[in-house]
Chain A
Amino acid sequence: MSPHVAQAGAGTEGRPRPRTPGRLHRMRVRARTWLPGLLMVLPSILLIGVFVYGMIGWNTSLALSDQHAPVQDGSFVGLTNFAELWQESRWPAAVGNAVVFTAVFVGGALFLGWFLGLMLDKGLRGEAAFRTLFLAPMAVSFIATGVVWRWLMNPAPAERATGLNALFVQFDLDFLVNDWWTAPNMGMAAMALPAIWQLSGYIMALFLAGFRGVPEELREAARVDGCSEWGVYRHVVMPQLRPVTLSAVIILGHMSLKVFDLIIAIAGQQIVADVPAVYMWTTVFEVRDPAKGATIASYLLIAVAVFVIPYLVWTIRKERSEGR
């Protein structure tokens, strides 16, 4: 659960120079200065080259082959596997579940995180304690979160009810009793609740830093112009938060598309809560079909790449143009 965006700061040494006579000599001199640097990064370049990009390449070629059993050899079949997935019923259902989960999780965590940040922005007594509490779930694994939320969201009916359902019954709120994640259509919305619980503190911290990054003079100027305090947020602070919001969406979105641990901990491999990552796991370990597993993995990679790559390129360009 990580990520982040690039940040500024590198020097200007690496910029391309105009071609001039004596270039070769100068390059040699310069190489003497930069070569040790390259050597120092080389171990990481090799590790990432082999274990990230090499393995992605291998996985892709597997996805393009018909190696449907671990021991057999495969030959190139183009995009057949990619097309065939859509013809079964399980894959589209898993994709649909991931979409519902993503919508509720990203929207929910973004809103709650923003709201918590807004509440704490003005420096409140006990702010540190609230912050520590809201952020604490970040330190815990999705598996541990899943263990307790599976208990909370136990769908057992009234007389055997546990968790939240039991609490609702006790307080005569029976209309709130529900099937949680086992509900056929919107179950994945309930599945997003633990994820929101876990991540909204992180988003709060991002927004809080964002709010505080807005210079006080800007706020003051708006107040002098007769802006209400809410107007200051609406017209001065919020527009400055676009980069933070974008980072938050990228962080939440890429986590959401590959969600796995949480689903396994809460629902195991039950089909009602199936998502692509769980389907891939089943395909590799139970069906033992490498080509199909690799195909699902490729789809996950594509889904993440289509919005992360533009984001990274945009960030690094921006950093460059700011000349840092």
Chain B
Amino acid sequence: MNRSAPERVTATVSRAPGTTPLGQAAKFTVLFVLAALFLLPMYVLLVTAFKPFDEATAARAWLLPQSWSLQGWAAAWDALAPGLWNSVQMVVPSAILSAVLGSMNGFVLARWRFPGADTVFTLFLFGMFIPYQAVMIPLQQTMVEAGLMGGLFPLILAHTVYGIPICTLIFRNYYATIPHTLIEAARVDGAGLLRTYRSVILPVSAPVFAVTLIWQFTSAWNDFLFAVFLTGPNTWPVTVQLNNVAGSMVVPYNQQMAAAVLASLPTLVIYLVLGRYFMRGLMAGALKG
């Protein structure tokens, strides 16, 4: 179906540029089929999560629950609550720290440059792409030797440091659109770096803070790799606990699916409510212009 679609659309559209009714109908058909495919996993998640234990079986896999039940949700909540709390405690400070550092860096790299600023920026950017595995063993060893492994600090530190590159990039691109004259004017008035940052830059930064905070919140919340290396049973964030719940063969499907929804709820709600900012984070710098 996918394969034939472009031609079909072409055939109708090329007759009259823009939108013929037939072309629109073909497009809608294709899009609805794709939307249904995209919704399939979401349907499974919700339907299974609301089934009682005895209904979460292979035979009734695709059917709606005969009796809607919260058993799965209750069990999932019990299993995940500590992880959810750990995640909150870890994500909030690291998102704030990355955003603040990113804002400072972005300002300097865009509008108060020093010799070698481009090199520093390039080296920062590469930090965005490196596989975390490449630092994991030394990082873990350092934390063990420093006696920090019992708490959330190692994970907060890792997310903060690895959030700096993307936050710097987002802030820098935004600050680059602030007119030079505005900053020159502040300089002429005798404002130093900090004054300029505080009185010219920070007041216009609120939307970008929203973008970076949301970005950092989402990526730290969804991270699994740093978490398995840098936390233990008492500090496991929600992704690790979800994997433990789902990975064990004895946990019924309704509880697994309810747990997956619970673990995803905070980021999904942010996406649905603040989608505009989420999008800007996604697009940050991925495009020219």
> Binary interface profile of A, 149-180, with partner B (CB < 8 Å = 1, else 0)?
11110001000111100110010000000000
Determine whether the beta carbon of B169 is less than 8 Å from that of A6: yes
Most A CB contacts (10 A, CB to CB) among B9, B40, B112, B116 go to B112
In the assembled complex, B283 has its CB within 8 A of some CB on chain A: yes
Q: Which residues of chain B are near A124, meaning CB under 8 Å?
A: 24, 27-28, 31
* Chain B residues numbered 272-289 whose CB sits less than 8 Å from any CB in chain A: 272, 275, 278-279, 282-289
B131–A301 touching, CB < 8 Å: yes
Residues from chain B with a CB closer than 8 A to the CB of A59 are 134-138
Query: A86 interface residue, CB < 8 Å from B?
Result: no
CB distance from B127 to the nearest CB of A (A): 5
- We find that the number of chain B residues with CB closer than 8 angstroms to chain A is 124
Of A11, A56, A280, most buried by chain B (CB within 10 Å of CB) is A11
Residues on B with beta carbons closer than 8 Å to the beta carbon of A150:
246
Query: Does A141 contact B239, Cβ atoms closer than 8 Å?
Result: yes
Contact (Cβ within 8 A) B113 A136: no
**Chain A, interface size: which category?**
35 or more
Q: Are A152 and B114 in contact (CB under 8 A)?
A: no
- Give A320 to B119 CA distance when docked, in angstroms: 13
- Given A14-B117, A37-B193, residue A151 in contact with residue B286 (CB < 8 A): no
B94 in contact (CB, < 8 A): no
Q: Does A237 count as interface, using CB distance less than 8 angstroms? A: no
Q: Residue B69 at the A interface, CB < 8 A?
A: no
Partner among A5, A152, A206, A264 whose Cβ is within 8 Å of the Cβ of B41: A152
* CB-based contact A5/B286 at 8 Å: yes
Residues of A close to B61: CB separation below 8 A: 162-163, 166-167
Q: Are B137 and A294 in contact (CB under 8 A)?
A: yes
Residues on B with C-beta less than 8 A from A68 are none
CB neighbours of A139 from chain B (8 A): 218, 264, 267-268, 270-271, 278
A interface, over-half SS = helix
Contact with A206, one of B24, B123, B168, B286 (Cβ below 8 angstroms): B286
Contact with A along B77-110 (1 / 0, CB 8 A): 0000000000000000000000001001101111
Is the beta-carbon distance between B282 and A202 smaller than 8 angstroms? yes
Asked whether A14 and B58 contact (CB < 8 A) given A37-B193, A147-B246, the answer is no
Query: Which residues of chain B come closer than 8 Å to A34, judged between CB atoms?
Result: 112-115
Q: In the complex where A141-B222, A197-B41, A280-B133 touch, is A47 in contact with B287 (Cβ < 8 A)?
A: no
Asked whether any CB of chain B lies closer than 8 Å to the CB of A192, the reply is no
The minimal Cβ–Cβ distance linking A308 to chain B, given in whole angstroms, is 4
**Chain B contact residues, CB within 8 Å of chain A:** 2, 5-6, 9-10, 13-14, 17-19, 24, 27-28, 30-31, 34-35, 38-42, 44-45, 48, 58, 61-62, 101, 104-105, 107-118, 120-139, 141-142, 157-158, 160-162, 164-166, 168-169, 172-173, 175-177, 180, 192-194, 197, 215, 218-219, 221-225, 228-229, 239, 242-243, 246-247, 253, 256-257, 259-261, 263-264, 267-268, 270-272, 275, 278-279, 282-289
Chain A residues in the interface with B (C-beta under 8 A): 1-11, 13-14, 33-38, 40-41, 43-45, 47-48, 51-56, 58-59, 62, 112, 115-116, 118-120, 122, 124, 130, 132-152, 156, 160-163, 166-167, 170, 197, 201-202, 205-206, 209-210, 213, 223, 228-232, 243-244, 247-248, 251, 254, 257-258, 260-261, 264-265, 268, 277, 280-281, 284, 290, 293-294, 296-298, 300-301, 304-305, 308-309, 312-313, 316, 320, 324
